[in-house]
Amino acid sequence: MLPPVTHPRWAALLQDRFEYKFSNASASMLLFQLKCDLKKDPSPAALAKAIDQLHAFTTKYERMLRTDLTVLFS
């Protein structure tokens, strides 16, 4: 089961406090884009929106990203 958006690893991943490269190209591109967006606007609201977007993507493709998510949240 995917951790909730309140899990601290989501913010750490997006703010480069935890470095990880997804094995899936689409997930990697989304993460890169969200990080770029946060560099332009590092506000708490922008971070919350980025976490929501990344969480929604990983929820939708959880089966495909299972290995990555296991590494990220174990």
| Residue 45, token pair as written in the block | 């609201």
Q: What is the tally of structural domains in the chain? A: 1
| pLDDT tens digit sequence for 26-72 | 999 999 999 999 999 999 999 999 999 999 999 999 999 999 999 99
Containing structural domain, residue 14: 8-72
- Position 62 in a domain: yes
- Position 59 in a domain: yes
- Position 1 in a domain: no
Banded pLDDT at 11 (limits 50, 70, 90)? very high
pLDDT of the residue at 1: 79
User: b/e string for 35-66 if b means 16 or more Cβ within 10 A?
Assistant: eebbeeeeeeebbeebbebbbebbeeeeeebe
- Position 15 in a domain: yes
Please give the average per-residue pLDDT across 21-27, as a whole number: 96
DSSP structure class, residue 4: P
- Position 37 in a domain: yes
- Position 2 in a domain: no
